[in-house]
Structure formats: structure tokens, C-alpha cells
Structure 1
Amino acid sequence: MTDGASRFTERFGLGSWSDALRLLAESGPAELIAQVRVVERADARCERWPRGKAHDDASALYARI
């Protein structure tokens, strides 16, 4: 998971790391990133969640071995 995707937990507090892993397992990386994008768009001026840039590149991979 890149720092853009980790905004789910680290910056926006949308859930814990356990929540993020559950979301990845149940709905896949696209859903986790979609949830991050919703928050980024809602705070385009970076006021509620201060950050260096409004949007960051985001990638995530979930694999079970």
C-alpha cells in the first residue's frame, strides 16, 4: 500500500489497519482507494485534514497465500 492509499488509516482515520485489511479482503483495493478519494474531494483545500497535497497517488495490493 502506498502512502496515498494508507491515508485511509493514517491521515483520514476512516478505520484501523484491521478495518483496511478487511476492506481489502472483502471489496478489493479499488474500494479502499475510492473511499480515500471521496474524503480527498470533500476536503480539496486540505483544511479539515491538513496535508501537503489534496490528492496523492494511491496503490494497494491484497493477496492471500
Structure 2
Amino acid sequence: MKLNDKTYDTLKWIAMYLLPAAGTLYFALAGIWGLPYGEQVVGTITAIDTFLGVILGISTAQYNKANKTE
């Protein structure tokens, strides 16, 4: 699976910054304000973030392999 540069960069930004920040924010606010399902929401965000990390890792490995053989 190869991703174009723009898609890769966008997904990388989401995986590295947006999802961890959103999970942390919701978890903190859930504790302070008693928002529902704090652990479930953060668990879901973490699962999505892990999935994106794997997809990005596969894409990077394929990209590096293709460039090494050229």
C-alpha cells in the first residue's frame, strides 16, 4: 500500500498530534466535568491512532524498499 505524499503527511500529522491531543483533552475534561465514557472514548482514539501508525509504518517501509531498489 503506497500513499501519496499529501495523504501520508496528513495522516502522519493526525496520528502524531491530533489524536493524542484529542484523547488527552477528552480524558482530562471527562475527569474534571464528569463527561461520559472517558475510558471508552480514549480507548477508541488510541486504537485508531495505533491503526494509523501501522498503516503509516507499512507505507514508509514500502516507500523505502522501492527507493532502495531504484
Structure 2 length normalisation: TM-score?
A: 0.35
Q: Which has the higher helix share?
A: 2
Structure 1 length normalisation: TM-score?
A: 0.37
